[in-house]
Amino acid sequence: MIELIAEQSFLERRKAVTSISTFTYMGIGATLAALLLSAAITLLLSRRIVRPLAAAASVADRIAEGELQTPIPVGGLDEAGALLRSMTVMQDNLRVLIERETAQRRSAQVRLIDALETLREGILLVDAEGRIAVVNSEVGVYFPEIATLIVPGADFRAIFGMIQPHLKRETMAGEAVVPVSMAALDGEYKLEGGRWMHISRADIRDGGFILLLSDFTEVKAREERLKEASEQAQAANKAKTTFLANMSHELRTPLNAIIGFSEILNGQFFGAIGNEKYIEYSGNILNSGKHLLEIINSVLDLAKSESSKLLLDPAEVDLNDIIESCADMMRDQCGKAQLDFRVVVPPTPLVIMAEAAKLRQIFLNLLSNAVKFTDPGGRIDLAVRTLANGGAQIRVTDTGIGMSESEIQIALEPFAQVDTRLARRYEGAGLGLPLTKALVELHGGTLSIESVPGVGTIVIVRLPKDRRASEGPAAAKEGIPVP
């Protein structure tokens, strides 16, 4: 029984071992089959997905680098194929856009070149490497000997070396110099043959620069004509001034004799004349002679002013005293003309450096004009005030006929008359205001006029405390030594 059971157990164990071995082999076989299947699937996926994606990535990199003609592989019906087809559409769209942009840029460049060719100025663009990028044919007109060499791509440094000897710039001393570098290539240059060229140079952001060449010959010719005309005008003005000064000197000698003899006759110094008419006529001669002498003296002073020979002998003067003395001289005239005359001066002395005689001439001229152009019943005010800088402001105000802006400009011109009619109402040689203005400026001051026709006129004179403290060039112009 025991042996039977043992044998039976041995057989069962043999069966179990066999079953285990069988299962082991089956497991190994299944594992190998699974591995083989995985490898097959991986190979299939690599062929169907990974390889097309890698190819698509490579194509995308080449397109990004600008190779728009790179062929894109044809994909299948899966997602990778859809991606490749989308990339094909994108490539076509990019190609169309770039071709369109290139065509537009080429068209714009052609239009730009056409526009530059129509200009009368020469245009030359030099890049950062010193090579000519853009140039129009007008540049060659200025340099016909080397026109064929001035083309895009040419080295501008070599071109500059060839054109440099032909460019000459005149200095103030009349010397001709040539530009020493391309950076100095800016200004007006005289070419061989007498032509003038103006070169404008402007730097651009990329390191290059642009040159604009313009024909300056006509402008220089106009400048020369204007210079000649100005010199002729100055010469004519100098001749006029000299003539007036000489004539004034020549006229004063016989005029003094006329005035002297008429005073003797009018005063009956050598006995009675016996006829009142002779006395009246001699008085008229005396008054006319004195009036003519005043005009001649004014002409002489104005001529000296224009030729910078009207000199000033300044000294400390109290402006209040001068104003009061002028007012005293004018009160009788204002009374005869039935005018209300008022004077306002500061309560304290107003001391300035000036020439008393010329100041009296200024204020008497202004007051005489105010009296002459103000109707009876009118008013004249003379007011003085001290300025913050120590100078003085004098205002002469009247309620006379007034002037317009254009008439003020005429009144300030020597020998000019606002009323040019033969039977004009107000007489005068037209020298009062111009000479007064010259005397004010001789003192370093200013004269301004505010006027309204039918309302009145305000003349404002501003004088500095010390003429020598004013600007040097103005002082030198009037013949005053500048410390």
- Contact status, residue 179 vs residue 154, Cβ threshold 8 Å: no
Q: Which of 462 and 240 is assigned the larger pLDDT?
A: 462
The tens digit of pLDDT for each residue in 37-56 reads 887 777 766 666 666 667 66
Q: Closest Cα partner for 288 from 257, 264, 259? A: 259
Strands annotated E in 152-195? 169-170, 176-177, 187-190
Across-strand partners of 341? 380
Q: How far apart are CA 468 and CA 304, in angstroms?
A: 20
- Contact status, residue 382 vs residue 343, Cβ threshold 8 Å: yes
The stretch 253-281 carries a mean pLDDT of 75
The stretch 127-142 carries a mean pLDDT of 83
The tens digit of pLDDT for each residue in 1-17 reads 776 676 677 777 777 77
Q: State the average pLDDT for the chain.
A: 76
DSSP designation for 176: E
- Contact status, residue 455 vs residue 399, Cβ threshold 8 Å: yes
- Contact status, residue 215 vs residue 197, Cβ threshold 8 Å: yes
Residue 457, Cβ density class (10 Å: 0-12 exposed, 13-18 middle, ≥19 buried): buried
The tens digit of pLDDT for each residue in 403-452 reads 888 888 888 776 555 544 333 344 444 567 888 888 888 888 999 999 89
pLDDT at 305: 59
SS3 content of the chain, % helix, strand, coil (to 5): 55, 15, 25
DSSP designation for 131: B
- Enter the tokens of residue 279: 């006395």
- Contact status, residue 84 vs residue 56, Cβ threshold 8 Å: yes
- Enter the tokens of residue 473: 């060039």
Q: How far apart are CA 218 and CA 197, in angstroms?
A: 10
The stretch 62-74 carries a mean pLDDT of 66
Q: Which of 476 and 40 is assigned the larger pLDDT?
A: 40
pTM of the model: 0.45
- Contact status, residue 434 vs residue 414, Cβ threshold 8 Å: yes
Which amino acid is present at 428? G
pLDDT-derived band at 477, boundaries 50, 70, 90? very low
pLDDT-derived band at 473, boundaries 50, 70, 90? very low
The tens digit of pLDDT for each residue in 285-327 reads 777 776 676 666 666 666 665 555 566 778 888 999 989 988 8
Question: Angle at which helices 356-372 and 432-442 pack, to 10 degrees?
Answer: 150
- Enter the tokens of residue 338: 């039935």
pLDDT at 428: 47
The stretch 450-475 carries a mean pLDDT of 76
Instruction: List b or e across 201-230, with b for residues whose CB sees 16 or more CB atoms inside 10 angstroms.
Output: beeeeeebbebebbbbbeebeeeeeeeeee
Among 44-53, 223-232, 268-277, 395-404, the minimum mean pLDDT is found in 44-53
The stretch 246-269 carries a mean pLDDT of 72
- Enter the tokens of residue 359: 């100041």
Q: Closest Cα partner for 215 from 231, 199, 235? A: 199
Q: What is the largest CA-CA distance in the chain?
A: 211
pLDDT at 425: 45
For the chain, domains (ranges, CATH) are 26-97 (no CATH), 119-215 (3.30.450), 222-306 (1.10.287), 315-477 (3.30.565.10)
The stretch 440-468 carries a mean pLDDT of 88
Q: What is the gyration radius of the CA atoms in the chain, in angstroms?
A: 52
